[in-house]
Amino acid sequence: MLDKISKLSKETAIYAISNSINKLIGFILIPVYAKYIPISDYGVLAVFEITITFLITILNFGIISGHQRFFYIEKENNTYGQFLFSIFISLFVLCGISILIFLINSSTLSKILTGENNYKELFNITMYITFTEILFLLPLQILQFERKPLFYLLLNSVKLLLTLTLTIYFIIYLRMSISGILHARLIGNILITFLSFIIIILPRLKFKINLNKIFITLKYGFPLIFSSISFLIFQMSDRYMLNWLSTQDETGKYSFGLKIANTINLTIIQAIGLSYVPTIYKYENDVNNKRYYSKSLTYYFFSVGLIALTFLYIYEDIIKLLVNNNDYLEGFKVVPILTFNFFVLGMNYFLSTGIYLKNKTRFFIIPSTMTAVLNIILNYYLIPIFGMMGASIATLISQISYVVILTIISNKIYSIKFEWNKIFLLLLIFITSFTGIEIIKIKSFLLLYTFKIIILTLIPLILFKLKFFEDVEINALKNIFSKFIPTFIIKFFEKHGIF
């Protein structure tokens, strides 16, 4: 089982590097945004960006999810080429028609989104971006399920570097503001989507449409759209409702704080999802599959919890080196809450295992709808009182509620004994470690960071003392540490009962 976890960790590391490049580019652009883009315009950009995310989820019509579910089955039956051609054509046609309808009604829709009449052109660009990014999902998923993370890394790196170059040119030299950001993203998407089609999609195609394969794909994936809509409503209603119930400035500040907190999601959590989800199906028939699924959540909570805590210890000092605009820095207030929100969000990959294995995807609609309604209600009452802090609190409460409901439903469909006692122990330790630093308020920079390093070092040692790790896990950790840590330190740990 540990060898599977080890392989999963290696692939996760590569995906994390790929996503980290994305986030690194985001950090590079932070001072550019702060200097050349007013906070109100940044709020408008945030609305268009979440609109892209929302439409990508809806306008793939569940085909991407169906491709994910039947990938290994079609490969084993040697019918993958026909399957891929069928779903690619259906994806292109269905998405293309939908985007065309949105473009025809762009004036009305752009006003609904932003509350103003002068964003029609940006809305049109947003639609083109949506179309290209949906088509780009298939080649990325192929690389993911063929376990080719290095190729995945290369493809994303080319796209992101191209987009970065164009963004800087459009903003700094052409002074195109948020229009430049969207134009750069569109050009990068068009080039890389065309390239990936030639290199990845085309060689695997067998040019024959099979309507039955389209039908089974839609039958599996289409119900997920409704749950995804509800899920996205509760994920994105914070920015929409801030824009409606507060000001564009407040939306911009919140969006900046969200962008910082999203670092953990983009670089680590999504990378874990990219590497873990294929293994759900790959190990479906293994004897010890339930132990693997259970342990994966525990390891996620331990490793990502440490990373998230480290991030919360250092992010303010790093961002202040890049940004001098106080309007942007006010977004720091929501970062801890939203970071914890993304940490909880990552649990969904593991808690959904039973639903995916039993093809009961329609049950996602229950937690998604319930939490979407809860989130809207909370935002409606909290935003007018607390502004962006109210939006962040509403998001976190909704996310926790989603996880609780999802766990109950998934466990009834396919029972997996997750190690909740260990997970709650970790949660207690991480929350205590963060709030302790916040309460103490050490003024000396050197003393503060010394204290933070001590806390991060003590956490694994405390867990060893509390018998958190099993013997087989301790032996595996010893083997890993022996490659990087001197022998006398290992012996010192063993002598004092740490190992």
Q: What is the pLDDT of residue 2?
A: 47
Q: Decide if pLDDT at 77 tops 70.
A: yes
In a domain, 465, yes or no: no
Q: What is the pLDDT of residue 27?
A: 60
Residue with more model confidence, 464 or 379 = 379
In a domain, 488, yes or no: no
Mean pLDDT of 156-164: 83
For the stretch 437-484, pLDDT in tens is 878 777 777 888 888 898 888 898 888 888 787 776 666 655 655 554
Packing angle of the helix pair 270-282, 149-168 (nearest 10 deg): 150
- At 251, the pLDDT band (50, 70, 90 cuts) reads confident
In a domain, 469, yes or no: no
In a domain, 494, yes or no: no
In a domain, 485, yes or no: no
Residue with more model confidence, 150 or 90 = 90
Residue with more model confidence, 8 or 200 = 200
In a domain, 447, yes or no: no
| Structural domain range at position 369 | 2-418
The per-residue pLDDT of the chain, averaged, comes to: 82
Give me the DSSP letters along 7-30: HHHHHHHHHHHHHHHHHHHHHHHH
* pTM for the whole structure: 0.68
Helix segments in 37-79, DSSP class H? 39-59, 63-76
Q: How many domains does the chain fold into?
A: 1
In a domain, 456, yes or no: no
For the stretch 300-358, pLDDT in tens is 999 899 999 999 999 888 888 877 777 788 888 899 999 999 999 899 888 988 888 88
Q: What is the pLDDT of residue 484?
A: 45
User: Which strand (E) or helix (H) includes residue 415?
Assistant: none
Nearest partner of 138 among 79, 91, 74, judged by Cα: 91
Q: Decide if pLDDT at 28 tops 70.
A: no
Whole-number Å distance between alpha carbons of 41 and 32: 13
Mean pLDDT of 216-225: 79
Mean pLDDT of 397-423: 90
In a domain, 391, yes or no: yes
Sequence-ordered strand ranges (E) for 392-450:
none
